[in-house]
Chain A
């Protein structure tokens, strides 16, 4: 067939395997070329769907996503059980490690690090842990929680100094320092795709998150009795297990993805907006949390606010990644391969002609298993 949009010869399919355009669609279902109704990393979703796993775990295929979701739910159920049992120290530890451990499994599953796991994991997760330790200790020096504790007299009381430090200064410092390990990855030239940068950034952010929780909660972990009344710990545990790691991972992932785009000479408004969005989202997350806690607002609303901010951040990442994949997958040569999303045996270059997945987001094992095929035009002449 000849693609409606890039006008190149391509195997017949629902999607052009060269440019990813959705063939024969009407404007009602979305623009065929930009196909925002078919997210390039997981075509069964719209780009604007705030899904955690298909955004931050972009190399996973359709079935594998569900397995990771169930594993995450199992971990959250474990946290809930520990909370109900009053084993808060244990629940804090599980919350701190849950998402980072899942991400480690994902990195192994997708082999994003290819043949150099030590260097990549050391500079991303390991580097994030080191930065997390340094920044959290610094935070402890400049911020005394007793000094800014809102007066219990008269209910609500907002500490302006506390809001400025926790809501503005600390998030900006964190976002400036967290990407550093991934930025200095020695073999970064071997990982040129934006999706690689995103994954490395998320890994660095999750390493940071683990260190931040363990250092920040060290006093509580050391002094909390083994068994306490559960109280309202569930709200703090939800933040620790879900929203804090997702925020730290997403924000750093977006910034590092932007750095990767810059290195490819693709720094546009969307990328600059991505950095701004990461910082603004972190500031909004922290400021909103501090303000609502100081004002004595129901903690459920704090969680809702955190979820809204993280959701907005995820959607922005998806737009950034979607357009990066559409742009960057187009160079891939023709090959026989298996689509990790729909599992069809396809003849394709950059995109699965059947489901439209960008094959540059395929796991390493799939990319290495590609068997070369001649270009369709060449095939016609033979």
Chain B
């Protein structure tokens, strides 16, 4: 027969003296006789016990409670259930095992994915500076047709193709986003003190390195010189892990950093997309880049 706990209503076997859920004494235990008091465990000082109590005279204040040992000596043969179940070796082994298994699985997974993503090893044929050396964007036949909308600020203007939106805009920078969330940021302004294209490139590299744990030049790409619609500068491509909130993606950023002849004007372009989508997005963004009209020279 099960006994319901008077406190939490848990059903307990009738052999239980305490509720197995909350520890409350059960009804079957209440009438149980008291166990004899025990002394302290070995190694502890024995309690100081006074003379045996005598009955107090009527009207006298109640006597102070006698010493009651808080300890007991386990009865011979009684096996106390173990306090702990898991040996420390097992705990540490589980964690070391986790590290080894995950290290093996993670590395194997990365190897397999890496092999699958570069089956022909043809990435060395990528059009490295593609957003790209002056005329190439214009020549792209697969480009998204422009809607005719234009975004402009004090330093340049750019055509916004159909399906793209202006995600941010200020006096020197305009950022556009396509329907898939890929972004193009364009900037131009005056430099004081004057900066060369190489110095502008170094600033961009430093800025990316501060925002990503592993920013590096994309494999099989080169740094080249060229121009975008008359603005001379440097093309290169950076790959990095973009972690934002709980999301982390492998991103690629084809970049252009330029300066006019005396370094008083800077030009910059960043394309931002998934690393796996880099070449497609370079082609998609080509008409946008081709439509840039720089206002400062």
Contacts and interface: CB of A to CB of B under 8 A. Distances in A.
A228 interface: yes
Measured as residues with beta carbon below 8 angstroms from the partner, the interface class of chain A is 35 or more
Interface residues of B, number: 100
B34 A382 contact: yes
A5 interface: no
Interface stretch (B146-154, B229-237, B270-278, B283-291): B270-278
B84 A192 contact: no
A332 B23 contact: yes
Contacts of A67: 88, 91-92
Contact of A374 (B34, B80, B247, B276): B34
B74 to A, nearest CB: 6
A272 interface: no
A192 B245 contact: no
B246 A136 contact: yes
B41 to A, nearest CB: 6
A149 B7 CA distance: 56
Pick from B7, B22, B175, B247 the residue with the most CB of A within 10 Å.
B247
Given A97-B98, A152-B211, A346-B72, A373 B35 contact: yes
A17 B72 CA distance: 14
A293 B95 CA distance: 31
A228 B270 CA distance: 24
Nearest to B214: A231
B251 interface: yes
B103 A146 contact: no
Contacts of B86: 105, 108-109
Contacts of B213: 231-233, 235-236
Interface in A70-119: 70-72, 74-75, 78-79, 82, 87-94, 97-98, 101-102, 105, 108-109, 111, 114
A343 to B, nearest CB: 7
Given A67-B91, A71-B92, A286-B245, A221 B109 contact: yes
A71 B94 contact: yes
B216 interface: yes
Nearest to A298: B210
A64 interface: yes
Interface in B102-159: 102-107, 109-111, 113-114, 117
B244 A149 contact: yes
Interface string A342-358: 01111110000110000
Contacts of B268: 153
A108 B85 contact: yes
Contacts of B280: none
B125 to A, nearest CB: 19
A139 B247 contact: yes
A347 B70 contact: yes
B241 A146 contact: no
Nearest to B253: A152
B198 interface: no
Contacts of B90: 105
Contacts of A159: 168
A153 B41 contact: no
A61 interface: yes
A222 B96 CA distance: 24
Given A87-B106, A94-B98, 15 more contacts: A68-B91, A74-B96, A75-B95, A108-B86, A109-B85, A143-B245, A154-B172, A222-B113, A225-B114, A231-B214, A293-B211, A338-B83, A365-B82, A369-B81, A372-B35
